[in-house]
Amino acid sequence: MLSILWEVIARGAPQLSLGFLLNNNSNGGIGPAIQGTLILIGLTSLIGIPVGILSGIYLAEFGNNKYATTLRSINDILTEFPSIVVGITAYGVIVIAIIGSYSAIAGAIALSFILIPIVARTTEESLKLVPNSVREASLALGAHKWRTTLSVVLPTAKAGLLTGTLLAVARIAGETAPLIMTILGNRYFFQGLNQPMAALPLEIWRDSLQPQASMQAHGWGAALILILMVLSLNIIVRLASRGRLKR
Amino acid sequence: MSRIIDRGLEEQSVLITKMAELTYETLALSIQGYVKGRSVQDEVNEMSDMLVAMADKLEGKTFELIARFQPVASDLRTIKSYMKIGNDFARFGRYSLDISYINEKVNGLKECDSAAKDYLEEMSQKVLSMVKMSIDSLRKLDVNLAKSISETEREVDKMYLEYLERLIEEDNTSSKCIISSALMTRYLERIADHATYVCESIVYIVTGEKITLS
Amino acid sequence: MTSTNTLQEQTIDLEMKMQSIDVNAWFGQKQALKNINIGIKGNSVTAIIGPSGCGKSTFIRCLNRMHELTPNAKMTGQILLDGQNIYDKQIDPVQVRRRVGMVFQKPNPFPTMSIYDNVAAGLRLTGTKKGKNLDEIVKRSLERATLWDEVKDDLNKPGTSISGGQQQRLCIARAIALQPEVILMDEPCSALDPIATAKIERLVVELKRDYTVAIVTHNMQQASRVSDFTAFLYLGSLIEFGTTTDIFESPKNPLTEKYITGEFG
């Protein structure tokens, strides 16, 4: 892993400049790709995190019945789904049937399908780690179950939830396959939810296939940026959990 | 499965049994000495002192058991009652001493007529049998035997009161006889009372009931 | 074995703050309680003793409708609070739990809340803090739980930053803050050292002035020290119930005698 990292830094670092980060492709920059990835992360989080967390809460706190067991099984299967299959499905359902073109929103939905099962599972696990004695203490005071979950269990599981969510986001930031079939990738800044969009993974992939050395160097630069984004998310997670442990 | 406290209870049981034997001997000796006119004071004195020492030891051990083992229910009742019974037995010793003292000072029944002699002998036998009954029911923890003492208790009470009546009515009894026999019947009546208390304690140990048997 | 119920069976005794009538309880197929008839007198301490697995915790959890929160738990019979069955269809279990508070075996202050917030939690979580002076209630509850002096300068420290014994008193303060009528305690001192235990026992005896207390304990000396009435449960059945003095001086049932004198294996 270190050699990969070194390789990326060595080849990508020379590309870095403010212009590189902000300009569009005609001016030698990867601005659209960065913007695209950020928009994707934002949209996906907006859709996926609430759904994932609510599912996780349902499974952990209210899930003693057969519906929950079924849901859990489905969830487990979804976490193992190859991302390209998610991409193809999104292509068929959203790109073709609903919107009619490659679109940013299709990409966001596809990535949500990867994000939600992960967030649901880590949420459920974090909540299950909260000792039952804490729930009982709240219930014995005469608090309703939903109040207990909201005001006592969730805050207690906060750290785990945060970690799980951030890690899931870091994961989808680098997904490439679903993007190929949903947002297609282009060299323009954001043009609308129902339009194709650029993204870092796609940029890297396309650039690496080009014969020109300058394009390949371009790709290394993009790769470096992407790795930096993912690494910083991981570092944030690590710092956040260490802070909690200290207390 | 034996408990930690059982050892302590066993020791108390052994001690109270020894006291029972000794106290009966002491009483029997002093009563016999009185009725037959023999001098037994020194012996009785020694035996009585031993009984007092044993009662003290029993009491000390009782507090130790309570402090260390927090006994409850039948254990607690047993320990408490052993202490009480031990005191009753020591009391018998003191009465024996009193009897032998009177014997020394006023020569027992020598100054009394034969009717009085017979009467007092009968009463002493009854009382001795009561003491024996209380000791037996303690050994066997027999509630029915213990309860049956009330009959004899009533008889002894009756005899005591009747004798006093007789002494009051008759004029020509010698003063030495009056003192000797009045005190003796008094001691006998008290011994009978304490034998009854012992039986009441036995009922309490076994059933937890606090009753009066007189 | 014979049950020695010294209480009027199956009649409602209005002197009793709480009363269980023919209570049977199950966990799935396993029956944990058989026909329990116990009366809990107001402003007194009732102890529930018995060997492990005899059903004492199950019983006490029926008194505040916590038993039904366990999956597959079932209960039949009635439990009266001031003469009214708390299991009536129209009674909300949440309301019952506000009148019948509980302190658990292992102290369980809310880990993300400060000492102050822990005590106020009951009022906040039940939405009953309107129009009330929280500061005053927190102070009063901590005082009543004999914890105020020890924590008054540290009210913002986390509830878990104090010792085990203090945490348990914090939990008691938390329960008291809601002004319940009955306080249930499930082996509250099991996890504590002797000095902390002694403090809580003293507190229990004081609490009966204003509340009715039912305490489950496996420590018989504790039961005899703090309680006015004692119930002895064995294998789910009530074996004997009476004043603590009677039970510990002259129990009527030979099984009770065996248990309290330590003759059980």
Q: What is the mean pLDDT of residues C94-103?
A: 96
For chain B, say whether C88 makes contact (Cβ under 8 Å): no
Looking at CA atoms only, how far is residue B153 from chain C in angstroms?
A: 27
Contact B96, B41 (CB under 8 A): no
pLDDT surpassing 80 at residue A16: no
pLDDT value of residue B25:
96
> Which residue in C95, C97, C108 is closest to A134 by CB distance?
C108
- Best B70, B72, B203 member to test C by mutation, with max C CBs in 10 Å, is B72
pLDDT value of residue C96:
96
> Which residue in A131, A136, A143 is closest to C126 by CB distance?
A143
Chain A residue numbers touching C106 (CB-CB < 8 A): 133
Q: What's chain C's average pLDDT?
A: 92
Q: What architecture does CATH give domain A2-246?
A: Orthogonal Bundle (1.10)
Given pLDDT bands bounded at 50, 70 and 90, which one contains residue A104?
confident
For chain C, say whether B39 makes contact (Cβ under 8 Å): no
Kindly report the backbone phi and psi dihedral angles of residue C173, in degrees, each rounded to the nearest multiple of 5, phi listed first.
-60, -40
- Best A141, A145, A161, A247 member to test C by mutation, with max C CBs in 10 Å, is A141
Kindly report the backbone phi and psi dihedral angles of residue C254, in degrees, each rounded to the nearest multiple of 5, phi listed first.
-60, -30
pLDDT tens digit sequence for A178-220: 888 887 777 777 777 777 778 888 878 888 888 887 777 778 8
Q: Mind spelling out the 3-state secondary structure of chain A?
A: CHHHHHHHHHHHHHHCCHHHHHCCHHHCCCHHHHHHHHHHHHHHHHHHHHHHHHHHHHHHHCCCCHHHHHHHHHHHHHHHCCHHHHHHHHHHHHHHHHHCCCCHHHHHHHHHHHHHHHHHHHHHHHHHHCCHHHHHHHHHCCCCHHHHHHHHHHHHHHHHHHHHHHHHHHHHHCCCHHHHCCCECCCCCCCCCCCCECCHHHHHHHHHHCCCHHHHHHHHHHHHHHHHHHHHHHHHHHHHHHHHHHC
Query: Neighbouring chains of B at 3+ CB pairs within 8 Å?
Result: C
pLDDT value of residue A96:
78
Given pLDDT bands bounded at 50, 70 and 90, which one contains residue B155?
very high
Segment holding C26, helix H or strand E: strand C16-27
Look up the pTM and report it.
0.82
pLDDT value of residue A143:
94
pLDDT value of residue A27:
66
pLDDT value of residue B146:
95
pLDDT value of residue C7:
47
Q: Domain ranges in chain C?
A: 16-260
- Quickly tell me which residue has 């048997």 as its tokens: B213
Interface of C with B in 196-255 (CB under 8 A): 220-221, 224, 248-251
Cα–Cα distance list, C250 to B137, B198, C18, C258 (Å): 20, 19, 26, 12
Given pLDDT bands bounded at 50, 70 and 90, which one contains residue A238?
confident
pLDDT value of residue C10:
55
Cα–Cα distance list, A145 to A60, C128, C159, C178 (Å): 12, 16, 22, 18
| Highest averaged pLDDT of the listed ranges A81-90, A171-180, B31-40 | B31-40
Query: Neighbouring chains of C at 3+ CB pairs within 8 Å?
Result: A, B
pLDDT tens digit sequence for B125-139: 999 999 999 999 999
Cα–Cα distance list, C205 to A247, C224, C228 (Å): 36, 12, 9
Given pLDDT bands bounded at 50, 70 and 90, which one contains residue C6?
very low
pLDDT value of residue C125:
93
User: What domains sit in chain B, N to C, each tagged with a CATH number?
Assistant: 4-207 (1.20.58.220)
pLDDT tens digit sequence for C173-184: 999 999 999 999
User: Worst-scoring range by mean pLDDT, A34-48, C157-171, C206-220?
Assistant: A34-48
Given pLDDT bands bounded at 50, 70 and 90, which one contains residue C59?
very high
Given pLDDT bands bounded at 50, 70 and 90, which one contains residue B27?
very high
Q: What is the mean pLDDT of residues B129-155?
A: 95
pLDDT value of residue B174:
84
Q: What's chain A's average pLDDT?
A: 83
Contact B106, B33 (CB under 8 A): no
- Chains B and A share 3 or more Cβ pairs within 8 Å: no
Helix (H, G, I), strand (E, B) or coil at C15: coil
Chain B residue numbers touching C261 (CB-CB < 8 A): 3, 71-75
Looking at CA atoms only, how far is residue A206 from chain C in angstroms?
A: 49
What superfamily in CATH does domain C16-260 come from?
P-loop containing nucleotide triphosphate hydrolases (3.40.50.300)
Between C264 and C250, the more confident residue is C250
pLDDT value of residue C3:
41
pLDDT tens digit sequence for B73-126: 999 999 999 999 999 999 999 999 999 999 988 887 888 888 889 999 999 999
- Best C108, C117, C174 member to test A by mutation, with max A CBs in 10 Å, is C108
pLDDT value of residue C8:
43
Chain C residue numbers touching B3 (CB-CB < 8 A): 261-263
Between A195 and C200, the more confident residue is C200
pLDDT surpassing 50 at residue C1: no
Instruction: Give the percent of chain C with pLDDT over 90.
Output: 88
Between B155 and B114, the more confident residue is B155
pLDDT surpassing 90 at residue C31: yes
Cα–Cα distance list, C33 to B11, C238, C247, C263 (Å): 42, 9, 21, 23
pLDDT tens digit sequence for A123-180: 999 999 999 999 999 999 999 999 999 999 999 998 889 888 988 998 888 888 888 8
Given pLDDT bands bounded at 50, 70 and 90, which one contains residue A38?
confident
Q: Please give the residue of chain C at the shortest CA–CA distance from A148.
A: C125
CA distance A34 to B18: 102
pLDDT value of residue C4:
45
Q: What is the mean pLDDT of residues C167-195?
A: 95
Q: What is the mean pLDDT of residues A98-104?
A: 76
pLDDT value of residue C265:
54
Given pLDDT bands bounded at 50, 70 and 90, which one contains residue A67?
confident
CA distance B185 to B160: 6
pLDDT value of residue A244:
56
Instruction: Give the percent of chain B with pLDDT over 90.
Output: 79
pLDDT value of residue C153:
94
Contact residues for A5 (Cβ-Cβ < 8 A; gap 6+): A227
